[in-house]
Amino acid sequence: MLRARRCRLVLALLCMTMRAHADEPLPLVLSSIRPLHLIVLALAGDRVEAREFPGIGASPHDFVVRPSAIRLLESARVVFWIGPELERPLAELLERMPGRRDIALLPRMPPAAIAADADPHVWLDPRLAVAIAESMAAVLIERGIAEEPLLQSRLEAFIASMESAEWNMRQELNGLERVPFMVMHDGYGYFVRRFSLNQVLALGPDAERQPGARAVSRMRQSALDSAAVCLLRESNSNRRLADLLAEGTAMRIREVDPLALSLAADDADFAAFLTDFTRTVAGCLRGPAS
């Protein structure tokens, strides 16, 4: 009888402990841009409250910080971002935050893989996406946010998915390596180098503003001289300028989504995102089927 009472007491205590743990909020993990958020979900989506930094949208280089974003920063266990080279407004905010819990990922990339100009657009290269995931997993383990065996298992699955994604991306781009193309935003350097593509012109910051007639004429001449057959723009690019540059030529214009903004934030798969991005680029390079 006494033993049975003890067993019931132990079971009751265990149930109370489990309920208490179930009522505890999940640790908040904040990511600056959606590609980083997708990697967090792949590694620890059911062990953390994964959120995106609000308000960045299509332009991590230039955005207005909302009050709700400051509250999220204050309550996050860890904040993953690329670094001040990409998210300058976020860098300025983090510098003023007490007890910083942010992890800048660009300095954690393999030094030999990073461009001399510290180009921050690293996530479109599947091998650098692996380096991002490895850094994230190490931080989540160090801070006790998720269990090491679970994270190691999911990291291995993510690495396998990136190997498969790279193979699929190469298949999409096969035979298109020498096709000349131009971009309005110089944000694809690692992707271009990984797959040996022929980007001949990047318009740079002037293309993201409203340039005057002289600047437009200069860009149009550069586009003609480049012999590019494809122009890649983003959702926030100057569409009128893109049309002017391609006017009277056979140049194709395609909108690409390097920040995965067209995907559902909590349901998207990072490997599928990379493959879809590559398929859009390949379609522009290849042109319509004859």
Q: What Å distances lie between residue 97 and 4, 102, 164, CA to CA?
A: 54, 10, 40
Q: Strand, helix or coil at 45?
A: coil
| 138 burial level (CB within 10 Å; 0-12, 13-18, 19+) | middle
Point out which residues pair with 201 in neighbouring strands. Answer: 182
- Reported as a pLDDT band with limits 50, 70 and 90, residue 6 is low
pLDDT (tens digit per residue) in 239-249: 899 998 899 88
pLDDT tens sequence across 94-153: 888 887 889 999 999 998 888 777 789 999 999 999 999 999 999 999 999 999 999 999
The yes or no reply on domain 176-256 and CATH 3.20.20.370 is no
The domains of the chain are located at: 21-170, 176-256
CATH superfamily, domain 21-170, is Nitrogenase molybdenum iron protein domain (3.40.50.1980)
Residue range 50-86, pLDDT digits in tens: 999 876 665 776 777 777 778 888 899 999 999 999 9
Same fold, 21-170 and 176-256: yes
pLDDT in tens, 175-217: 999 999 999 989 999 999 999 999 999 987 666 667 778 888 8
Q: How far apart are CA 137 and CA 213, in angstroms?
A: 50
For 68, phi then psi, to 5°, come to -65, -30
Q: Evaluate if residue 230 carries a pLDDT over 70.
A: yes
pLDDT at 168: 98
- What's the order of all strands across the beta sheet hosting 102-104? 49-52, 28-31, 78-81, 102-104
Q: How distant, in Å, are the alpha carbons of 128, 176, 192, 249 from that of 197?
A: 17, 7, 5, 22
pLDDT higher than threshold 50 for residue 91? yes
Q: At what angle do helices 34-44 and 126-142 cross, to 10 degrees?
A: 60
Residue owning tokens 């391609």: 246
| Whole-structure pTM value | 0.88
